[in-house]
Amino acid sequence: MSIKISVIGTGYLGATHATCMSSLGFEVVGVDVDPKKIESLSQGIIPFYEPRLEELLQTELKSGRLTFSTDFSAIKECDVHFICVGTPQIANGIAADRTYVFAALDAIAPVIKDGSLVVGKSTVPVGTAAELRDRLLKINPKTDLAWNPEFLREGFAVEDTLNPTRLVVGVANHLAEETLRKVYSKNLADQTPWIVADLPTSELVKVSANAFLATKISFINAMAEVCEAAGGDVTVLAKAIGYDPRIGSRFLQAGIGFGGGCLPKDIRAFMARAEELGAEQALEFLREIDSINLRARSRMIDLVRRDLSEDLRGKKIAVLGAAFKPDSDDVRDSPALDIAVQIQGAGAHVTVHDPKAIHNAEARFPALNYADTIETCVADAELVLHLTEWKVYREIDPLKLLGLVANPTIIDGRNALDRELWRAAGWQFRALGRSEN
């Protein structure tokens, strides 16, 4: 018997998961309470930018295996139900808001058939899965709940879903593992590492992985601060330590730090949960990781002031990049936009360019100025800031921009541009964590 799958919540994670599960040959229905999302997905339009996903969505819709609905009764014949709703930071604190996961469970529990398995994929505070499982079993004791955290990166969502680095399944019952083995049989045949855990460990794997990644970035940004003070170069330092396989070279890109909808809120929610559990001391260091990260944004603004003047009023500044990282149109907690807004708040005239995120940036910060092309963005600028490392910015010919700006100075907030190339073209080039600022 073939497995039928439902995906509850069709945001970033859910839309990707539903599409990829369909591409593996399963019949999938994606359900969301937001009719706009469902309408858009049903028409083959992804409401955000993610390479490869829209093409795949259209193929899967045509195959007839993938459908979307706002009606929860559409899931009643499904065998496995993935919960993919968001857990944003609460408005008045640092904890995660679990409202949507509980609402999703409450909506599906009375509808799902006996023998079906609910699988949480959302990033949740440890202990949530067990609570949800108890709640589900009270409503229908002939069902079960497992946890299967996702590790997908924006910009690589399809690749990370179809070929994950590992699959982690938190189960309370071996039957749940057997069902998940069937769902992921292709990955198992491809030798993807399969890790079976209890429910709390599976929840912790996800948040500790993100905490580790955040720590790595803040570590190199702390080294950048020391390099600046000592006249060193953090890019050379990162390269040198990265050759040690125990350290590894990835996630050692110093700059304006991490943002997005995951790392910042996940480390904060992790601290909040540890405090509830009486283990706050264990995660005290994450407070420092968060501070180093936010300090990277202030250090960038210090560089701007050092270059132009303490008083930024009336200064024309061009900002290249608005997304929290390249290959994404996501501007949630974007370091680039945060810096742009702060500089504008200090009186500067800021114009922002981004290949994909302008629409989202404008909706969030309408007071900033936006440009459709790199050329119009930098026109008459007294200073150019490179804040999101899109490929198009690395491909800029600095000679071509020279005649457009009022003053050829660029600050590389991502340490991704070729300093020698820009200098040879006649630019003043500065960067975070490198001497000669």
Q: Which residues are catalytic?
A: 262
Residue 365 as a binder of ligand UGA (CB under 6 A): the answer is no
Residues 322-341 that bind ligand UGA (CB under 6 A): 324-325
Show the tokens assigned to 235: 């890019």
Query: Which of the ranges 57-65, 77-85, 197-205, 259-267 carries the binding residues for ligand UGA, by CB under 6 A?
Result: 259-267
**Residues 6 or more apart from 92 whose CB is under 8 A from it?**
none
- Distance CA(168)–CA(156), nearest Å, equals 19
**Cα distances (Å, whole numbers) of residue 162 to 16, 146, 358:** 10, 20, 29
CA atoms of 250 and 213, how far apart (whole Å): 10
Q: Check binding of 264 to ligand UGA (CB under 6 A).
A: no
Measured CA to CA, the distance from residue 336 to residue 1 in angstroms comes to 50
In angstroms, give the least distance from the CB of 170 to ligand UGA.
Answer: 16
In Å, the largest CA–CA distance within the chain is: 72
Residue 219, interface with ligand UGA (CB under 6 A)?
no
Contact, 108 vs 118, CB < 8 A? Answer: yes
**Residue type present at position 191:** Q
Nearer to ligand UGA, 140 or 187 (CB): 187
Number of residues that bind ligand UGA (CB under 6 A): 21
222 touches ligand UGA (CB under 6 A): no
Contact 271, 263 (CB under 8 A): no
Q: Where are the beta strands (DSSP E) in 121-216?
A: 144-147, 167-170, 194-197
Check binding of 102 to ligand UGA (CB under 6 A): no
Strands, DSSP E only, in 165-282? Answer: 167-170, 194-197
Query: Interface with ligand UGA includes 287 (CB under 6 A)?
Result: no
Among 84, 224, 252, 308, binds ligand UGA (CB under 6 A): 252
One of 56, 213, 431, 432 touching ligand UGA (CB under 6 A): 213
**In the complex, least distance from residue 324 CB atom to ligand UGA, rounded to whole angstroms:** 4
Q: Is 319 in the site for ligand UGA (CB under 6 A)?
A: no
253 counts as binding ligand UGA under rule CB under 6 A? yes
- Residue 169 in the binding site for ligand UGA (CB under 6 A): no
x/- map, 19-58, ligand UGA, by CB under 6 A: ----------------------------------------
Nearer to ligand UGA, 166 or 186 (CB): 166
The residue among 38, 36, 44 whose CA lies nearest residue 10 is 38
Near ligand UGA by CB under 6 A: residue from 5, 7, 38, 262? 262
Report d(CA 80, CA 138) in Å as an integer.
Answer: 18
Contact 242/234 with Cβ under 8 angstroms? no
User: Per CB under 6 A, which region of 50-58, 250-258, 375-383, 426-434 contacts ligand UGA?
Assistant: 250-258
Q: Does 104 bind ligand UGA (CB under 6 A)?
A: no
The single residue among 86, 257, 321, 355 that binds ligand UGA, judged by CB under 6 A, is 257
Residue 6 or 210: which CB sits closer to ligand UGA? 210
Distance, CA of 267 to CA of 287 (rounded, Å):
8
- Closest to ligand UGA by CB, 78 vs 352, is 352
Amino acid at 233: D
3-state secondary structure of 313: coil
The radius of gyration computed from the CA coordinates of the chain, to the nearest angstrom, equals 23
210 binds ligand UGA (CB under 6 A): yes
Asked whether position 258 contacts ligand UGA by CB under 6 A, the answer is yes
The binder of ligand UGA chosen from 151, 159, 198, 201 (CB under 6 A): 151
Scanning 68-76, 171-179, 247-255, 302-310 for contacts with ligand UGA by CB under 6 A, the matching segment is 247-255
Residue 234 CB contacts under 8 Å (≥ 6 apart), including other chains? 220, 223, 224, 227, 254, 415, 432, 433, 434
User: Between 128-139 and 199-230, two packed helices, what is the crossing angle to 10 degrees?
Assistant: 160
Structure-token pair, residue 93 = 């604190």
Task: Map residues 111-140 to x or -, x wherever contact with ligand UGA holds by CB under 6 A.
Answer: ------------x-----------------
CA distance 279 to 281: 6
Token pair for 139:
């409503």
Interface segment toward ligand UGA; rule CB under 6 A; list 24-32, 63-71, 103-111, 255-263: 255-263
User: Between 212 and 347, whose beta carbon lies closer to ligand UGA?
Assistant: 212
Give residues in contact with ligand UGA (CB under 6 A).
123, 150-154, 210, 213, 217, 251-253, 255, 257-260, 262-263, 324-325
